[in-house]
Structure 1
Amino acid sequence: MDTAAYKKLKTSRGFTYNYYRVSFFQAQGYGLVVPDMLGYGGTDKPSDPMAYVASGHTSDIIDILDAEKVEKSILIGHDWGSRVVSRLANAHPDRFIGYTFIAVGYVAPPVAPHDPDAIAAVFKKSIGREGFGYWEFFVEEDAASLVEKYPESFFNLFFPNPPSLWIEHLAPTGASRKWVEADRRSALPEFFTEQEKDERIKTLLQGGFTGPFNWYKVVTQSLDYVDCQGIPEDRKSTTKPVLYIGCSQDYACVPALMRVALGTFAKGSLTVEEFDAGHWVILSHAEQVNRALSDWIKGLDA
Structure 2
Amino acid sequence: MSALVNPDDYQLNDTQKHVRASCVAMFCVSVVFVALRCFVRTRLQSQFSVDDWLLLVGLAGYLVMTVMIVFSVNEGGFGRKTAEISIQTFYTGAMYLVLAQVVYTIAMMITKLSIALLQLRIIGQTSVIMRRLTLVSIAVNVIIGTYEFFALLFQCTPPKKYWTPTMTTGHCADRNGVAIGVYVYSAVNLALDWYYALALAPMVWKLQMRTMVKISTVFVLGMGVFASIANIIRFKSLIGYAAQTDVLYIFIPIAIWTWAEMCLGLAAASIATFRPLVRLLPWAQSRNASSDPNSRSLFTTWKSWRSPNRRRDPMELSDMGITNVTVQEGTIYASNGRGGQAGSNDGFNGDAESQKYILKEQEVEVRSERWKEPRLNTNRAIDTTATMESFAKKTITTTRSLTYTYYDNEKPTDASTPTFFLLHGFPDNAHLFQKVVPHLASLPNRIIIPDQLGYGGTSKPTDPALFNSKAMVADYVELLSAEHVAKIVVVGHDWGSFSAQRVWLWAPQLVVGVALLNVAYIAPAGPFDLAAANAFFEQATGFPRYAYWELFTADDGARVCDEHLDSFWAALHGDRENWMRDLFCVRGAMREFLLADGTVELREYAKPGNGWREAWFESVRSGGGLASSLCWYKALAWNHHHEVEKELPKERVPITVPTFFLGCERDDVCLPVLIEQNKADGLVGPDLTAKLIDSAHWCTMEKPDEVGKALYEWLSSKF
TM-score (norm 1): 0.94
Task: Letter of the 1:168 partner, please give it.
Answer: D
Deviations 1:177-203 (A, max 9, x none): 111011101122112341431331121
The answer to whether residue 693 in structure 2 is matched with residue 275 in structure 1 is yes
Describe the shift of the 1:297–1:263 C-alpha distance in structure 2 as closer, same or farther (beyond 3 A). farther
Q: 1:74 to 1:163 in 2, by over 3 A?
A: farther
Which residue of 618, 635, 639 maps to 1:202?
618
Secondary structure of the corresponding residue to residue 606 of structure 2: coil
For structure 1, which segment, 186-195 or 256-265, has the greater mean C-alpha deviation from structure 2 after superposition?
256-265
Question: Which of residues 645, 649, 668 in structure 2 aligns to 1:228?
Answer: 645
Q: Which amino acid aligns with 1:276?
A: D
Decide which structure has the larger Cα Rg and report it: 2
CA distance in 1, matches of 2:713, 2:551: 39
- Summarize deviations over 1:87-112 as a string: whole Å, max 9, x none: 1111111211110000111121122x
Aligned to 1:86: 501
Find out whether 1:238 has 2:238 as its counterpart.
no
1:289 CA drift (Å): 0.8
Partner secondary structure for residue 212 of structure 1: coil
Deviation at 1:57, TM superposition (A): 1.3
Give the secondary structure class of the aligned counterpart of 2:715: helix
Deviation track 1:137-178 (CA, whole Å, cap 9, x = no partner) reads 011111111111110001110122136211211112211111
Retained in 2: the 8 A contact 1:130–1:172? yes
Partner of 1:180: 594
For residues 224-259 of structure 1, what are the alpha-carbon distances to aligned partners after superposition, in whole Å with 9 as ceiling and x for unaligned?
111211111011002211000001100111111343
Do the aligned partners of 2:679 and 2:685 also contact (CA within 8 Å) in 1? no
Q: Secondary structure of 2:629's partner? A: helix
CA offsets 1:56-113 (integer angstroms, 9 cap, x no match): 11111111111111100100001101111111111111211110000111121122x2
Aligned-partner SS, 1:43: coil
Report if aligned partners of 1:156, 1:186 keep a CA contact under 8 Å in 2. Answer: yes
Letter in 1 for 2:457: G
**1:17 corresponding residue in structure 2:** 404
1:168 to 576, 582, 590: 582
Task: Give the Cα separation in 1 of the matches to 2:676 and 2:478.
Answer: 30
Q: Which structure 1 segments of 5+ residues have no match?
A: none
Work out which of the residue numbers 546, 558, 563 in structure 2 matches 1:144.
558
Matches for 1:1-302 after TM superposition, within 5 Å? 1-2=388-389, 5-22=392-409, 24=438, 25-111=440-526, 113-124=527-538, 126-162=540-576, 164-195=578-609, 196=611, 197-207=613-623, 208-261=625-678, 263-264=680-681, 265-301=683-719
Contact 1:163 1:278 in 2 (8 A): no
Q: Distance in 2 between matches of 1:55 and 1:71?
A: 19
SS at match of 2:456: coil
Match of 1:287, SS state, is helix
**Residue range with higher mean Cα deviation, 179-188 or 23-32:** 23-32
8 Å Cα contact 2:391/2:408 also seen in 1: no
Q: Deviations over 1:29-66 (max 9, x none)?
A: 01210000000000000011111111111111111111
Give the letter aligned to residue 407 of structure 2. Y
**Distance across 1 between alignment mates of 2:391 and 2:643:** 40
Task: Check whether the contact 1:106–1:262 (CA below 8 A) recurs between aligned residues.
Answer: no
Question: For the Cα contact (< 8 Å) 1:82–1:107, is it kept in 2?
Answer: no
By relative contact order (CA 8 Å, sep 6+), the higher-ranking structure is 1
142-151 vs 194-203, greater mean Cα deviation: 194-203
Separation in 2 of the partners of 1:116 and 1:147?
A: 20
Q: Distance in 2 between matches of 1:165 and 1:97?
A: 37
Which amino acid in 2 is paired with 1:28?
Answer: L
Maintained 8 Å contact 2:404/2:452: yes
Is the Cα–Cα contact under 8 Å of residues 238 and 268 in structure 1 kept in the other structure?
A: no
Q: Which has the higher helix share?
A: 2
Once residues 591 and 480 of structure 2 are traced to their aligned partners in structure 1, the CA distance between those partners, rounded to angstroms, is 39
Give how far 1:4 is off: 5.8
Moved more, 215-224 or 200-209: 200-209
Q: Distance in 2 between matches of 1:87 and 1:223?
A: 13
Instruction: Write the distance in 2 (CA, Å) between the matches of 1:151 and 1:4.
Output: 29
Aligned-pair distance for 1:124? 3.8
SS in structure 1 of the partner of residue 460 of structure 2:
coil
Please report how far the alpha carbon of residue 206 of structure 1 lies from its aligned counterpart in structure 2 after TM superposition.
2.0
What is the CA–CA distance in structure 1 between the aligned matches of 2:528 and 2:711, rounded to whole Å? 33
In structure 1, distance between residues paired with 2:394 and 2:577: 34
Q: Distance in 1 between matches of 2:646 and 2:402?
A: 24
The answer on whether the counterparts of 2:492 and 2:499 sit within 8 Å (CA) in structure 1 is yes
- Cα distance in 1 for partners of 2:486, 2:665 equals 35
Contact kept, 8 Å, 2:573 with 2:606, in 1: the verdict is no
Q: CA RMSD in A?
A: 1.7
SS at match of 1:274: strand
